[in-house]
A = this chain, B = another copy of it.
Amino acid sequence: MSWFTGALADLPEPDPIAGAAVRDRAAKVLRPPGALRRLDLVAEHVAGWQASIAPRIERPHVLVFAGDHGVTAGGVSAYPSAITAEMLRAVEAGSATINALARSAGAELDVYDVGVGEPTGDIRHTAALTPERFDAVAQLAAGAVDAAVDRGADLFVLGELGIGNTTPAAAIPAALLGAASIEWVGRGAGVDADGLARKRAAVAAATARVAGVRDPLEILRELGGSELTAIAAACIRARHLRVPVVLDGYIATSSVLPLHCARPGALDHCIAGHRSAEPGHRVVLERLGLDPLLDLDLRLGEGSGALAAVPLVRMACAAVVEVATFDEWFGAETD
């Protein structure tokens, strides 16, 4: 039994009383009912998971996982694999985009090397991860969540670094959702036309290789990669600790898709942060029933699109908790 099988066996549900209380309050605060409906729903969501009638985001936390991919041997990326290690060092040094966004949004950030310089298997020909490595990565990521929650994390952004990782991000939905007519493969970090053709061929070879696999978590192990596996594990560990997750773009969303396929409802604690420029991302979000907060054609990864949405989650909570109700306001007046 893999780490995931155990982790998915027993999932907490949101507190219906806290969620209903916030929904009720949102209808009574000093504004026309429904004027901020999309944000009110976010506040209700956070209330349910925090089991609090006063949901707040005080310590958003970014976890970035970095890994390398054997499939880069197939010429699927515009960048050489060595860039992953450089970007990992840049994030560690606070010099990457995700660091700047985290400082701006008041978020903590931890970065974990889950396979830089230790590429996964080339998914065209073999499994990305052995069962042992699959579990080891999942346990590391779960521990990263635990450490952040120990420091007070109350909202997670799960990001990734990994040259070549839009290829597994396309292969996972291609295998799980089928529909050969859907274009799962996009240009990622900017591959050219020849590279795009190689990417399509790699996804076709990888999905053909696993055509007989029925377990969605095995699809993750076969086609994902170390940082995709880490995101999936961190996401489900956050669920256990009742901390909501803001999903990033195509890679992060494809990483958690197997959880949904294995157990519908497993992503109920997730908010879609943004809709990326990758066409496949839109389709995966629709299949998950998630409507993203932002739609800005971002295509960086690292967790950037999710982090860009974090202030909206924080504001959504404040706009219910910190605004007077009509009763409070007019009651206060007559005191």
What is the minimal beta-carbon distance from A271 to any residue of chain B, in angstroms? 13
A101 contacts B298, C-beta separation under 8 Å: no
Question: CA of A311 to CA of B307 in the docked complex: distance in angstroms?
Answer: 11
A190 contacts B33, C-beta separation under 8 Å: yes
Question: CA of A319 to CA of B11 in the docked complex: distance in angstroms?
Answer: 37
B residues in contact with A32, CB < 8 Å: 78-79, 189-190, 299-300
B residues in contact with A79, CB < 8 Å: 32
Give the size category of A's interface with B: 35 or more
Specify the chain B residue showing the minimal Cβ separation from A322: B100
Of A35-43, A109-117, A118-126, A194-202, the segment with at least 4 beta carbons within 8 Å of chain B is A35-43
* A315 in complex: contacting residue of B86, B87, B104, B315, CB < 8 Å: B104
Q: Is A261 an interface residue (CB 8 A)?
A: no
B residues in contact with A322, CB < 8 Å: 99-100, 103
What is the minimal beta-carbon distance from A210 to any residue of chain B, in angstroms? 29
Query: Which are the 3 A-B pairs with shortest beta-carbon distances?
Result: A311-B311, A100-B322, A35-B300
- Some 13 contacts from A to B, beta carbons below 8 A apart, are A29-B97, A30-B95, A32-B78, A34-B299, A36-B300, A36-B304, A86-B330, A95-B329, A96-B323, A96-B324, A100-B322, A104-B314, A308-B311
